[in-house]
Amino acid sequence: MDKIVIRGGIPLNGEVTISGAKNAILALMCASLLTRDEMIFHGVPTLNDIRTTKQLLLQLGVCLDDFAAGTLRVKAAEISDHTAPYELVKTMRASVMVLGPLLAREGKADVSLPGGCAIGARPIDQHLKGLEAMGARIDLEGGYVKARAERLQGTDFTFDLKTVTGAENLIMAASLAKGTTVLRNCAVEPEIAELAHVINRMGGCIDGTGTETIVIEGKDRLHGVVHEVMPDRIEAGTYLMAGAVTRGDVRVRHCRPAHLSALLEKLDDAGLRVDVGEDEVRVATNGRVKSNDVETAPYPGFATDFQAQYMALMALADGQSMVTETVFENRFMHVSELVRMGADIRVSGRTARVRGVQQLSGAHVQATDLRASACLVLAGLAAQGTTEVHRVYHLDRGYDRLEDKLAALGADIRREKDDIL
Protein backbone atom coordinates (compact mmCIF):
# COMPACT_ATOMS: atom_id res chain seq x y z
CA MET A 1 0.00 0.00 0.00
CA ASP A 2 1.03 3.62 -0.45
CA LYS A 3 0.90 6.64 1.79
CA ILE A 4 1.09 10.33 0.98
CA VAL A 5 3.51 12.45 3.00
CA ILE A 6 2.85 16.18 3.18
CA ARG A 7 4.86 18.97 4.79
CA GLY A 8 2.13 21.51 5.36
CA GLY A 9 1.88 25.29 5.76
CA ILE A 10 2.74 26.22 2.17
CA PRO A 11 0.16 28.38 0.33
CA LEU A 12 -0.74 26.80 -3.02
CA ASN A 13 -0.46 29.04 -6.05
CA GLY A 14 -0.87 28.47 -9.76
CA GLU A 15 -3.02 26.63 -12.25
CA VAL A 16 -4.27 23.05 -12.50
CA THR A 17 -6.02 21.37 -15.44
CA ILE A 18 -9.01 19.25 -14.50
CA SER A 19 -9.32 15.68 -15.79
CA GLY A 20 -12.39 13.92 -17.20
CA ALA A 21 -15.23 13.23 -14.79
CA LYS A 22 -15.03 9.88 -12.99
CA ASN A 23 -18.78 9.75 -12.37
CA ALA A 24 -19.50 10.50 -16.03
CA ILE A 25 -17.11 8.01 -17.64
CA LEU A 26 -18.21 5.16 -15.35
CA ALA A 27 -21.79 5.53 -16.64
CA LEU A 28 -20.63 6.02 -20.24
CA MET A 29 -18.56 2.84 -20.15
CA CYS A 30 -21.70 0.96 -19.07
CA ALA A 31 -23.69 2.69 -21.82
CA SER A 32 -21.24 1.15 -24.31
CA LEU A 33 -23.13 -2.10 -23.72
CA LEU A 34 -26.13 -0.58 -25.49
CA THR A 35 -24.53 -0.93 -28.93
CA ARG A 36 -22.50 -3.47 -30.88
CA ASP A 37 -20.60 -0.61 -32.45
CA GLU A 38 -17.34 0.92 -31.30
CA MET A 39 -17.40 3.72 -28.73
CA ILE A 40 -14.36 5.98 -28.39
CA PHE A 41 -13.90 8.20 -25.33
CA HIS A 42 -11.29 10.96 -25.06
CA GLY A 43 -10.21 12.70 -21.87
CA VAL A 44 -10.45 9.54 -19.77
CA PRO A 45 -8.53 9.91 -16.47
CA THR A 46 -6.34 7.20 -14.97
CA LEU A 47 -8.38 6.06 -11.96
CA ASN A 48 -8.79 2.77 -10.13
CA ASP A 49 -12.57 2.89 -10.55
CA ILE A 50 -12.10 3.04 -14.32
CA ARG A 51 -9.70 0.11 -14.15
CA THR A 52 -12.33 -1.85 -12.20
CA THR A 53 -14.99 -1.01 -14.78
CA LYS A 54 -12.68 -2.18 -17.56
CA GLN A 55 -12.21 -5.48 -15.73
CA LEU A 56 -15.97 -5.84 -15.47
CA LEU A 57 -16.58 -5.10 -19.16
CA LEU A 58 -13.82 -7.53 -20.20
CA GLN A 59 -15.49 -10.16 -18.00
CA LEU A 60 -18.71 -9.62 -20.00
CA GLY A 61 -16.85 -10.23 -23.26
CA VAL A 62 -16.42 -6.61 -24.31
CA CYS A 63 -13.32 -5.57 -26.31
CA LEU A 64 -11.33 -2.68 -24.85
CA ASP A 65 -8.29 -0.76 -26.07
CA ASP A 66 -6.43 2.05 -24.39
CA PHE A 67 -5.17 4.18 -27.22
CA ALA A 68 -3.00 7.21 -26.58
CA ALA A 69 -3.15 8.42 -22.99
CA GLY A 70 -6.66 9.36 -22.09
CA THR A 71 -8.38 7.62 -25.01
CA LEU A 72 -10.44 4.48 -24.47
CA ARG A 73 -12.06 2.34 -27.15
CA VAL A 74 -14.93 0.06 -26.14
CA LYS A 75 -16.64 -2.41 -28.48
CA ALA A 76 -19.38 -4.63 -27.12
CA ALA A 77 -19.92 -6.58 -30.35
CA GLU A 78 -20.75 -9.73 -28.42
CA ILE A 79 -21.76 -10.28 -24.78
CA SER A 80 -20.44 -13.66 -23.68
CA ASP A 81 -21.23 -13.38 -19.96
CA HIS A 82 -24.05 -11.65 -18.10
CA THR A 83 -22.65 -11.65 -14.58
CA ALA A 84 -21.21 -8.78 -12.57
CA PRO A 85 -19.41 -10.74 -9.83
CA TYR A 86 -19.27 -9.95 -6.13
CA GLU A 87 -15.54 -9.30 -6.07
CA LEU A 88 -15.88 -6.50 -8.62
CA VAL A 89 -19.16 -4.99 -7.44
CA LYS A 90 -17.93 -4.99 -3.84
CA THR A 91 -14.88 -3.02 -4.98
CA MET A 92 -16.96 -0.51 -6.87
CA ARG A 93 -20.71 -0.23 -6.40
CA ALA A 94 -21.11 1.75 -9.64
CA SER A 95 -20.78 -1.69 -11.30
CA VAL A 96 -24.54 -2.02 -10.75
CA MET A 97 -24.90 0.27 -13.76
CA VAL A 98 -24.39 -2.71 -16.08
CA LEU A 99 -27.75 -4.02 -14.90
CA GLY A 100 -29.93 -1.72 -17.01
CA PRO A 101 -28.00 -1.98 -20.29
CA LEU A 102 -27.45 -5.76 -20.02
CA LEU A 103 -31.13 -6.35 -19.31
CA ALA A 104 -32.21 -4.05 -22.13
CA ARG A 105 -29.88 -5.57 -24.71
CA GLU A 106 -29.65 -9.21 -23.65
CA GLY A 107 -32.77 -9.78 -21.55
CA LYS A 108 -30.72 -11.08 -18.64
CA ALA A 109 -28.26 -9.89 -16.03
CA ASP A 110 -26.92 -11.37 -12.80
CA VAL A 111 -25.40 -8.57 -10.74
CA SER A 112 -24.05 -8.93 -7.24
CA LEU A 113 -25.83 -6.77 -4.72
CA PRO A 114 -23.25 -4.09 -3.85
CA GLY A 115 -23.87 -4.23 -0.12
CA GLY A 116 -23.07 -1.25 2.02
CA CYS A 117 -19.89 0.77 1.97
CA ALA A 118 -18.05 3.09 4.33
CA ILE A 119 -20.46 5.99 3.79
CA GLY A 120 -23.73 4.13 4.11
CA ALA A 121 -26.05 1.22 3.32
CA ARG A 122 -26.56 2.55 -0.22
CA PRO A 123 -29.35 0.19 -1.30
CA ILE A 124 -30.41 -0.14 -4.95
CA ASP A 125 -34.13 -0.61 -4.36
CA GLN A 126 -34.99 2.26 -6.71
CA HIS A 127 -32.99 0.71 -9.53
CA LEU A 128 -34.87 -2.58 -9.08
CA LYS A 129 -38.32 -1.01 -8.68
CA GLY A 130 -37.82 0.91 -11.90
CA LEU A 131 -36.71 -2.15 -13.85
CA GLU A 132 -39.69 -4.13 -12.52
CA ALA A 133 -41.96 -1.29 -13.66
CA MET A 134 -40.43 -1.84 -17.10
CA GLY A 135 -41.47 -5.49 -17.00
CA ALA A 136 -38.32 -7.12 -15.65
CA ARG A 137 -38.53 -10.13 -13.35
CA ILE A 138 -36.17 -9.52 -10.44
CA ASP A 139 -35.10 -12.31 -8.08
CA LEU A 140 -32.61 -11.93 -5.24
CA GLU A 141 -30.59 -15.12 -4.87
CA GLY A 142 -27.32 -15.74 -3.09
CA GLY A 143 -26.53 -12.05 -2.80
CA TYR A 144 -27.17 -11.51 -6.49
CA VAL A 145 -29.86 -9.66 -8.41
CA LYS A 146 -31.05 -12.05 -11.10
CA ALA A 147 -32.96 -9.98 -13.67
CA ARG A 148 -34.79 -11.32 -16.71
CA ALA A 149 -36.98 -9.68 -19.37
CA GLU A 150 -38.13 -10.72 -22.83
CA ARG A 151 -38.04 -7.07 -23.78
CA LEU A 152 -38.33 -4.15 -21.41
CA GLN A 153 -41.47 -2.06 -21.89
CA GLY A 154 -41.82 1.69 -21.58
CA THR A 155 -43.40 2.80 -18.30
CA ASP A 156 -44.21 5.86 -16.21
CA PHE A 157 -42.04 5.59 -13.07
CA THR A 158 -41.57 7.99 -10.18
CA PHE A 159 -38.46 7.68 -8.01
CA ASP A 160 -39.11 7.75 -4.27
CA LEU A 161 -35.89 9.74 -3.87
CA LYS A 162 -33.16 11.35 -5.93
CA THR A 163 -30.62 8.74 -7.02
CA VAL A 164 -27.84 9.44 -9.52
CA THR A 165 -26.93 5.94 -10.66
CA GLY A 166 -30.57 4.91 -10.26
CA ALA A 167 -31.54 7.49 -12.88
CA GLU A 168 -28.61 6.45 -15.08
CA ASN A 169 -29.46 2.76 -14.88
CA LEU A 170 -33.09 3.35 -15.87
CA ILE A 171 -32.25 5.84 -18.63
CA MET A 172 -29.95 3.23 -20.18
CA ALA A 173 -32.54 0.46 -19.79
CA ALA A 174 -35.32 2.62 -21.29
CA SER A 175 -33.16 3.57 -24.29
CA LEU A 176 -33.60 0.08 -25.77
CA ALA A 177 -37.05 -0.66 -24.31
CA LYS A 178 -40.21 -0.97 -26.42
CA GLY A 179 -42.22 2.24 -26.21
CA THR A 180 -41.76 5.39 -24.20
CA THR A 181 -40.62 5.70 -20.58
CA VAL A 182 -41.25 8.68 -18.33
CA LEU A 183 -38.99 8.95 -15.28
CA ARG A 184 -40.20 11.39 -12.62
CA ASN A 185 -38.44 12.85 -9.57
CA CYS A 186 -35.11 12.19 -11.30
CA ALA A 187 -31.79 13.40 -9.94
CA VAL A 188 -30.36 16.14 -12.16
CA GLU A 189 -26.61 15.82 -11.65
CA PRO A 190 -24.61 16.95 -14.72
CA GLU A 191 -23.25 13.44 -15.22
CA ILE A 192 -26.81 12.25 -15.89
CA ALA A 193 -27.23 14.93 -18.57
CA GLU A 194 -23.89 13.88 -20.06
CA LEU A 195 -25.10 10.27 -20.31
CA ALA A 196 -28.41 11.33 -21.92
CA HIS A 197 -26.54 13.54 -24.38
CA VAL A 198 -24.29 10.67 -25.46
CA ILE A 199 -27.21 8.25 -25.79
CA ASN A 200 -28.98 10.82 -27.98
CA ARG A 201 -25.83 11.04 -30.12
CA MET A 202 -25.97 7.22 -30.33
CA GLY A 203 -29.40 7.55 -31.97
CA GLY A 204 -31.45 7.56 -28.78
CA CYS A 205 -34.34 9.91 -28.10
CA ILE A 206 -34.23 11.42 -24.60
CA ASP A 207 -35.99 14.65 -23.64
CA GLY A 208 -36.10 16.63 -20.40
CA THR A 209 -32.38 16.35 -19.68
CA GLY A 210 -31.47 18.54 -16.71
CA THR A 211 -35.01 18.45 -15.35
CA GLU A 212 -36.64 16.07 -12.88
CA THR A 213 -38.81 14.52 -15.61
CA ILE A 214 -37.01 12.56 -18.31
CA VAL A 215 -38.83 11.11 -21.32
CA ILE A 216 -37.08 8.30 -23.19
CA GLU A 217 -38.39 6.87 -26.44
CA GLY A 218 -36.98 3.35 -26.71
CA LYS A 219 -35.11 2.34 -29.87
CA ASP A 220 -34.39 -1.06 -31.43
CA ARG A 221 -30.69 -0.31 -31.76
CA LEU A 222 -28.13 2.39 -31.04
CA HIS A 223 -24.86 3.15 -32.83
CA GLY A 224 -21.35 4.01 -31.65
CA VAL A 225 -19.99 7.53 -31.15
CA VAL A 226 -16.76 9.37 -30.32
CA HIS A 227 -17.06 11.51 -27.18
CA GLU A 228 -14.87 13.80 -25.06
CA VAL A 229 -15.69 13.25 -21.38
CA MET A 230 -16.86 16.31 -19.44
CA PRO A 231 -14.55 17.77 -16.77
CA ASP A 232 -14.77 16.45 -13.23
CA ARG A 233 -16.60 19.04 -11.12
CA ILE A 234 -15.66 17.34 -7.86
CA GLU A 235 -11.97 17.32 -8.75
CA ALA A 236 -12.24 21.01 -9.71
CA GLY A 237 -13.87 21.95 -6.42
CA THR A 238 -11.34 19.91 -4.47
CA TYR A 239 -8.41 21.88 -5.93
CA LEU A 240 -10.18 25.20 -5.37
CA MET A 241 -10.62 24.28 -1.71
CA ALA A 242 -6.97 23.16 -1.53
CA GLY A 243 -6.00 26.69 -2.55
CA ALA A 244 -8.44 28.22 -0.09
CA VAL A 245 -7.42 26.11 2.92
CA THR A 246 -3.73 26.95 2.38
CA ARG A 247 -4.54 30.66 1.92
CA GLY A 248 -3.22 30.51 -1.61
CA ASP A 249 -4.45 31.43 -5.05
CA VAL A 250 -5.46 28.59 -7.38
CA ARG A 251 -6.99 28.65 -10.83
CA VAL A 252 -8.59 25.48 -12.22
CA ARG A 253 -8.73 25.23 -15.97
CA HIS A 254 -10.91 22.98 -18.16
CA CYS A 255 -13.92 23.03 -15.88
CA ARG A 256 -17.58 24.03 -16.17
CA PRO A 257 -18.21 26.79 -13.60
CA ALA A 258 -21.97 26.30 -13.86
CA HIS A 259 -21.50 22.85 -12.29
CA LEU A 260 -19.83 24.45 -9.28
CA SER A 261 -22.36 27.17 -8.45
CA ALA A 262 -23.35 25.96 -5.00
CA LEU A 263 -19.73 25.54 -3.91
CA LEU A 264 -18.59 28.87 -5.37
CA GLU A 265 -21.43 30.62 -3.57
CA LYS A 266 -20.26 29.10 -0.28
CA LEU A 267 -16.63 30.07 -0.94
CA ASP A 268 -17.73 33.62 -1.73
CA ASP A 269 -19.80 33.73 1.47
CA ALA A 270 -16.70 32.53 3.36
CA GLY A 271 -14.91 35.67 2.20
CA LEU A 272 -12.74 34.16 -0.54
CA ARG A 273 -12.18 35.97 -3.83
CA VAL A 274 -13.91 33.96 -6.56
CA ASP A 275 -13.30 34.80 -10.24
CA VAL A 276 -15.28 32.84 -12.83
CA GLY A 277 -14.21 32.52 -16.47
CA GLU A 278 -15.73 30.59 -19.36
CA ASP A 279 -14.03 27.26 -18.56
CA GLU A 280 -11.97 28.19 -15.52
CA VAL A 281 -12.38 29.38 -11.94
CA ARG A 282 -9.89 31.14 -9.67
CA VAL A 283 -10.22 31.23 -5.89
CA ALA A 284 -7.84 33.39 -3.90
CA THR A 285 -7.54 34.12 -0.24
CA ASN A 286 -8.73 37.40 1.25
CA GLY A 287 -7.28 36.79 4.70
CA ARG A 288 -8.81 34.33 7.16
CA VAL A 289 -11.76 32.32 5.89
CA LYS A 290 -15.09 33.10 7.56
CA SER A 291 -17.18 30.26 9.02
CA ASN A 292 -20.22 29.43 6.94
CA ASP A 293 -22.90 26.78 7.51
CA VAL A 294 -23.56 24.22 4.77
CA GLU A 295 -26.11 21.49 4.15
CA THR A 296 -25.53 18.93 1.39
CA ALA A 297 -28.29 18.23 -1.11
CA PRO A 298 -28.79 16.62 -4.52
CA TYR A 299 -27.71 18.79 -7.46
CA PRO A 300 -27.92 21.74 -7.90
CA GLY A 301 -27.50 21.87 -4.13
CA PHE A 302 -24.17 21.66 -2.32
CA ALA A 303 -22.72 18.29 -3.37
CA THR A 304 -22.20 15.65 -0.72
CA ASP A 305 -18.90 14.89 -2.48
CA PHE A 306 -17.65 18.33 -1.37
CA GLN A 307 -18.71 18.01 2.28
CA ALA A 308 -15.50 16.49 3.69
CA GLN A 309 -13.20 18.89 1.84
CA TYR A 310 -15.33 21.86 2.94
CA MET A 311 -15.11 20.70 6.53
CA ALA A 312 -11.32 20.87 6.34
CA LEU A 313 -11.71 24.48 5.23
CA MET A 314 -14.13 25.30 8.06
CA ALA A 315 -11.80 23.63 10.59
CA LEU A 316 -9.46 26.61 10.14
CA ALA A 317 -12.12 29.27 9.59
CA ASP A 318 -12.89 32.19 11.89
CA GLY A 319 -15.92 31.19 13.98
CA GLN A 320 -18.33 28.25 14.18
CA SER A 321 -20.06 26.49 11.28
CA MET A 322 -22.63 23.70 11.09
CA VAL A 323 -22.03 21.08 8.41
CA THR A 324 -25.09 18.93 7.71
CA GLU A 325 -24.94 15.77 5.58
CA THR A 326 -28.39 14.91 4.22
CA VAL A 327 -27.51 12.45 1.41
CA PHE A 328 -25.55 9.65 3.10
CA GLU A 329 -26.02 8.43 6.65
CA ASN A 330 -22.39 7.89 7.56
CA ARG A 331 -20.22 10.42 5.79
CA PHE A 332 -18.40 11.94 8.79
CA MET A 333 -15.55 9.43 9.14
CA HIS A 334 -13.03 12.15 8.34
CA VAL A 335 -14.06 13.99 11.53
CA SER A 336 -12.13 11.79 13.97
CA GLU A 337 -8.99 12.12 11.86
CA LEU A 338 -9.37 15.91 11.63
CA VAL A 339 -9.78 16.03 15.42
CA ARG A 340 -6.50 14.14 15.78
CA MET A 341 -4.91 17.01 13.82
CA GLY A 342 -6.30 19.51 16.32
CA ALA A 343 -9.66 20.37 14.79
CA ASP A 344 -12.55 21.23 17.13
CA ILE A 345 -15.51 19.28 15.69
CA ARG A 346 -18.43 17.62 17.40
CA VAL A 347 -20.92 15.43 15.54
CA SER A 348 -24.55 15.11 16.52
CA GLY A 349 -26.60 12.97 14.16
CA ARG A 350 -26.26 14.32 10.65
CA THR A 351 -24.71 17.62 11.71
CA ALA A 352 -21.11 18.41 12.63
CA ARG A 353 -20.43 21.56 14.65
CA VAL A 354 -17.06 22.93 13.52
CA ARG A 355 -15.28 25.53 15.62
CA GLY A 356 -12.41 27.07 13.67
CA VAL A 357 -8.96 26.81 15.24
CA GLN A 358 -5.86 28.86 14.55
CA GLN A 359 -3.90 25.94 13.19
CA LEU A 360 -3.89 22.20 12.62
CA SER A 361 -0.93 19.95 13.43
CA GLY A 362 0.44 17.33 11.09
CA ALA A 363 -0.23 13.71 12.12
CA HIS A 364 -0.57 10.14 10.88
CA VAL A 365 -4.15 9.86 9.55
CA GLN A 366 -6.08 7.11 7.84
CA ALA A 367 -8.27 7.48 4.78
CA THR A 368 -11.63 5.69 4.89
CA ASP A 369 -13.34 6.67 1.66
CA LEU A 370 -12.61 8.69 -1.44
CA ARG A 371 -13.64 12.17 -0.41
CA ALA A 372 -12.58 11.74 3.22
CA SER A 373 -9.10 11.03 1.84
CA ALA A 374 -9.18 14.28 -0.10
CA CYS A 375 -10.24 16.10 3.08
CA LEU A 376 -7.23 14.72 4.97
CA VAL A 377 -4.86 15.75 2.18
CA LEU A 378 -6.26 19.28 2.30
CA ALA A 379 -5.89 19.37 6.09
CA GLY A 380 -2.31 18.14 5.75
CA LEU A 381 -1.53 20.85 3.20
CA ALA A 382 -2.71 23.50 5.69
CA ALA A 383 -1.32 21.95 8.89
CA GLN A 384 1.94 22.88 10.53
CA GLY A 385 4.38 19.96 10.36
CA THR A 386 4.18 16.67 8.52
CA THR A 387 1.05 14.63 7.79
CA GLU A 388 1.08 11.05 6.56
CA VAL A 389 -2.17 9.93 4.93
CA HIS A 390 -2.42 6.13 4.97
CA ARG A 391 -4.57 3.86 2.76
CA VAL A 392 -4.44 6.25 -0.19
CA TYR A 393 -5.88 3.58 -2.45
CA HIS A 394 -9.15 5.33 -1.59
CA LEU A 395 -7.80 8.50 -3.21
CA ASP A 396 -6.60 6.67 -6.29
CA ARG A 397 -10.18 5.65 -7.04
CA GLY A 398 -11.15 9.20 -7.95
CA TYR A 399 -8.16 11.52 -8.30
CA ASP A 400 -5.78 11.31 -11.25
CA ARG A 401 -2.16 12.04 -10.17
CA LEU A 402 -3.26 14.10 -7.18
CA GLU A 403 0.19 14.51 -5.66
CA ASP A 404 1.68 15.62 -9.01
CA LYS A 405 -1.00 18.26 -9.49
CA LEU A 406 -0.62 19.54 -5.93
CA ALA A 407 3.18 19.59 -6.19
CA ALA A 408 2.81 21.69 -9.36
CA LEU A 409 0.89 24.17 -7.20
CA GLY A 410 3.80 24.35 -4.76
CA ALA A 411 2.89 21.67 -2.23
CA ASP A 412 5.62 19.67 -0.49
CA ILE A 413 3.98 16.29 -1.10
CA ARG A 414 5.19 12.83 -2.09
CA ARG A 415 3.91 9.27 -2.37
CA GLU A 416 5.80 6.53 -0.52
CA LYS A 417 5.43 2.86 0.20
CA ASP A 418 3.55 2.45 3.45
CA ASP A 419 5.44 0.42 6.04
CA ILE A 420 2.75 0.89 8.70
CA LEU A 421 -0.33 -0.33 6.84
Footprint on this chain of ligand EPZ (rule: CB under 6 A): 22-23, 26, 94, 120-127, 161, 163-166, 187, 304-305, 327-328, 370-371, 398
Q: In what order do the strands lie in the sheet with 63-66?
A: 63-66, 72-75, 38-42, 226-228
Query: Which candidate, 33, 37, 50, 167, places its Cα nearest to that of 103?
Result: 33
In angstroms, the CA 237 to CA 250 distance is 11
Report the SS3 class of residue 14: strand
- Of these residues, 117, 186, 255, 375, which one is catalytic? 117
Q: Nearest approach, Cβ of 329 to ligand EPZ (angstroms)?
A: 7
Give yes or no: 117 in active site.
yes
> What are the distances in angstroms from CA 121 to CA 125, 144, 297, 399?
11, 16, 18, 24
314 neighbors 356 (Cβ within 8 angstroms): yes
Q: Which is nearer to ligand EPZ, 371 or 391 (CB)?
A: 371
Q: Nearest approach, Cβ of 13 to ligand EPZ (angstroms)?
A: 27
Q: Which is nearer to ligand EPZ, 104 or 327 (CB)?
A: 327
Q: Which is nearer to ligand EPZ, 159 or 289 (CB)?
A: 159
Phi, psi of 240 (to 5 degrees): -65, -40
Q: Which is nearer to ligand EPZ, 11 or 43 (CB)?
A: 43
Farthest-apart Cα atoms in the chain, separation: 63
Q: Nearest approach, Cβ of 236 to ligand EPZ (angstroms)?
A: 13
Strands (E), 54-136: 63-66, 72-75, 83-84, 108-112
Q: Which is nearer to ligand EPZ, 14 or 115 (CB)?
A: 115
Report the SS3 class of residue 55: helix
Q: Nearest approach, Cβ of 155 to ligand EPZ (angstroms)?
A: 16
> What are the distances in angstroms from CA 176 to CA 27, 179, 183, 220?
16, 9, 15, 6
Q: Nearest approach, Cβ of 366 to ligand EPZ (angstroms)?
A: 17
Q: What residues are labeled active site?
A: 117
